[in-house]
Amino acid sequence: MTENFVRTEDGVDIFYKDWGTGQPLVFHHGWPLSADDWDAQMLYFVNKGYRVIAHDRRGHGRSTQVSEGHDIAHYAKDVAALVLKLELSDAIHIGHSTGGGEAAAYVARHGAGRVAKLIMVGAVPPLMLKTAANPGGLPIEVFDGFRSALAANRAQFFRDVPAGPFYGFNRSGAEVSEGVIQNWWRQGMMGSAKAHHEGIKAFSETDFTEDLKAIDVPTLVMHGDDDQIVPIDDSARLAVKLLKNGTLKVYEGYPHGMLTTHADVINPDLLAFIKA
């Protein structure tokens, strides 16, 4: 393998990008994408004097299409292996969607002494699934529908998601970018169907409540109030109440994929929190 992979203790090769020097920023991508989803942020921050690092989750992108381990515990341990290899300290972890859960789990379970701050953008914590204890969540039928659509025709499903709710391109007056849609599809289709199918359970059924309670570093929670993928009322608004040192920033009318559609607004806000 090249120097752009780290091998985990269970033999999975995790691909990563590592650009620049300075304080490290570690980016955690959403389902079913790859490190490439952070292009707009990595280019911005490497030119601001930061070291920017992003990896492809196991089974995603260029990482090994392994059969097992598609759960948050393994995702967080994989990040720990990457951090150890790169000898990162004083790092700021930034996670989007499923990556927000992965980042929170890493910080809570493995990040002691190595993490300066955490940022969660459109993130899934504390719990997406509707349960007796989480009545505002989404019913299991929603996620079963994702699994069925993926198994029936992954290529079409991965076209429909970005063309519709992910970037808010289904909203009246939206400025639709075919390139953005195709790039989402490209990233998704690079990965393993098995990893993506099992990842739905990981992002929807993992309860991050105890992870959030354990995090004591300054944490910024950013969320669009028109997020059709991870509704804000059962995610960000609850997550910030569980954090010891959390701040919530809400973006009126912004979609789940606001890091791409509104990078011109989000990137300076990320920078302001990082520098604070």
Catalytic residues: 97, 227, 256
Cβ(258)–Cβ(122) below 8 Å: yes
Per-residue buried b or exposed e for 195-227, using 16+ beta carbons within 10 Å of the residue's own CB: bbbbbbebbbbbbbbebbebbebbbbbbbbebb
**Which phi and psi (to 5°) does residue 54 adopt?**
-145, 140
Q: Return the amino acid letter for 101.
A: G
Closest CA to 14 of 66, 52, 50, 88: 66
d(CA 204, CA 145): 12
CA–CA–CA angle 163, 184, 17 (5° rounding): 160
